[in-house]
Amino acid sequence: MNETFVGMPAFPEAAQKALGNGTLRGNLRHATHTIRAKRAAAVAEVSDWAELREAGSRIKEHTLRHLDRYLEQLEESVTAAGGTVHWAADAAEANRIVTRLVKETGESEVVKVKSMATQEIGLNEALEAAGIRAYETDLAELIVQLGEDRPSHILVPAIHRNRAEIRDIFRTAMAGWGRPAPEGLSDSPAELAEAARLHLREKFLRARVGVSGANFMVAETGTMVVVESEGNGRMCLTLPETLISVAGLEKVVPTWRDLEVFLQTLPRSSTAERMNPYTSMWTGTTDGDGPRAFHLVLLDNGRTDTLADEVGRQALRCIRCSACLNVCPVYERAGGHAYGSVYPGPIGAILSPQLRGTASEIDASLPYASSLCGACYEVCPVAIDIPEVLVRLRERVVEGGPAVREGNRVVLRPARGHAAERAAMRAARWIFTHPDALRTGQRLASRARRLRPRTLPGPGAAWTRTRDLPEVPAEPFRDWWERTRGGKEETK
Partner 1 sequence: MSDRERVLGRVRRALADVPEDDTPYDRAIPRSYAREHGVRSAEETVELLAENLADYRAVVHRCAEAELPVLIARLLAARGAKSVLVPDGLPSAWLANADPVPVPDRAESTPYELDAVDSVVTGCAVAVAETGTLVLDGGPGQGRRRITLVPDHHICVVRVPEQVVASVPQALERLSPTRPLTWISGPSATSDIELNRVEGVHGPRTLEVVFAGVIPSVGGAGRPEGTPASVGE
- Restricting to residues 303-332, name those near ligand SF4 by CB under 6 A: 318-324
Binding letters toward partner 1, positions 387-426, x by CB under 8 A = -----------------x--x-------------------
- Considering only 71, 117, 330, 382, the residue that binds ligand SF4 (CB under 6 A) is 382
**Sites for ligand SF4 among residues 332-351 (CB under 6 A):** 347
Residue 381 near ligand SF4 by CB under 6 A: yes
Spatial distance between the Cα atoms of 285 and 32, rounded to a whole number of angstroms: 39
Specify the residue, 218 or 398, whose C-beta has the smaller distance to partner 1. 218
By CB under 6 A, how many residues form the interface with ligand SF4? 13
Spatial distance between the Cα atoms of 27 and 21, rounded to a whole number of angstroms: 10
Segment contacting ligand SF4 by CB under 6 A, of 3-11, 377-385, 395-403, 478-486? 377-385
Residue 289 near partner 1 by CB under 8 A: yes
Residue 159 near partner 1 by CB under 8 A: yes
By CB under 8 A, how many residues form the interface with partner 1? 102
Residue 178 near partner 1 by CB under 8 A: no
Which three-class secondary structure string do you get for the chain? CCCCCCCCCCHHHHHHHHHCCHHHHHHHHHHHHHHHHHHHHHHHCCCCHHHHHHHHHHHHHHHHHCHHHHHHHHHHHHHHCCCEEEEECCHHHHHHHHHHHHHHHCCCEEEECCCHHHHHCCHHHHHHHCCCEEEECCHHHHHHHHCCCCCCCCCCCCCCCCHHHHHHHHHHHHHHHCCCCCCCCCCCHHHHHHHHHHHHHHHHHHCCEEEECCCEEECCCCEEEEEECCCHHHHHHHCCCEEEEEEEHHHEECCHHHHHHHHHHHHHHHCCCCCCCEEEEEECCECCECCCEEEEEEECCCHHHHHCCCCHHHHHHCCCCCHHHHHCHHHHHHCHHHHCCCCCHHHHHHHHHHHCCCCCHHHHHHHHCCCCCCHHHHHCCCCCCHHHHHHHHHHHHHHCEEEEECCEEEEECCCCCCHHHHHHHHHHHHHHCCHHHHHCCHHHHHHCHHHCCCCCCCHHHHHHHHHCCCCCCCCCHHHHHHHHCCCCCCCC
Specify the residue, 415 or 444, whose C-beta has the smaller distance to ligand SF4. 444
Spatial distance between the Cα atoms of 122 and 134, rounded to a whole number of angstroms: 11
CA distances from 386 to 7, 99, 367, 396, 412 (A): 26, 35, 10, 15, 22
Of the candidates 3, 39, 16, the one whose C-alpha atom is nearest the C-alpha of residue 369 is 16
- Considering only 169, 249, 397, 456, the residue that binds partner 1 (CB under 8 A) is 249
Residue 304 near partner 1 by CB under 8 A: yes
Task: Select the binding partner of residue 381 from partner 1, ligand SF4, none (C-beta < 5 to 8 A, by kind).
Answer: ligand SF4
Task: Select the binding partner of residue 280 from ligand SF4, partner 1, none (C-beta < 5 to 8 A, by kind).
Answer: partner 1
Residue 197 near partner 1 by CB under 8 A: yes
**Sites for partner 1 among residues 14-73 (CB under 8 A):** 27, 30-31, 34-35, 46-48, 51-52, 54-55, 58-59, 61-62, 65-68, 71-72
Task: Select the binding partner of residue 16 from ligand SF4, partner 1, none (C-beta < 5 to 8 A, by kind).
Answer: none
Shortest distance (Å) from residue 252 CB to ligand SF4: 16
Residue 139 near ligand SF4 by CB under 6 A: no
Task: Select the binding partner of residue 380 from partner 1, ligand SF4, none (C-beta < 5 to 8 A, by kind).
Answer: ligand SF4
- State residue 281 phi and psi, 5-degree precision: -130, 130
Shortest distance (Å) from residue 114 CB to ligand SF4: 14
- Considering only 142, 379, 393, 428, the residue that binds ligand SF4 (CB under 6 A) is 379
Task: Select the binding partner of residue 205 from ligand SF4, partner 1, none (C-beta < 5 to 8 A, by kind).
Answer: partner 1
Specify the residue, 127 or 382, whose C-beta has the smaller distance to ligand SF4. 382
Task: Select the binding partner of residue 197 from partner 1, ligand SF4, none (C-beta < 5 to 8 A, by kind).
Answer: partner 1
- Considering only 5, 177, 278, 480, the residue that binds partner 1 (CB under 8 A) is 278
Task: Select the binding partner of residue 118 from partner 1, ligand SF4, none (C-beta < 5 to 8 A, by kind).
Answer: none
Binding letters toward ligand SF4, positions 175-214, x by CB under 6 A = ----------------------------------------
Shortest distance (Å) from residue 84 CB to partner 1: 12
Spatial distance between the Cα atoms of 74 and 303, rounded to a whole number of angstroms: 17
Shortest distance (Å) from residue 444 CB to partner 1: 20
Residue 152 near partner 1 by CB under 8 A: no
Spatial distance between the Cα atoms of 421 and 433, rounded to a whole number of angstroms: 18
- HSE-CB for 296 with a 13 A CA cutoff: 33
Residue 78 near ligand SF4 by CB under 6 A: no
Residue 125 near partner 1 by CB under 8 A: no
Residue 200 near partner 1 by CB under 8 A: yes
Binding site for ligand SF4 (CB under 6 A): 318-324, 347, 379-382, 384
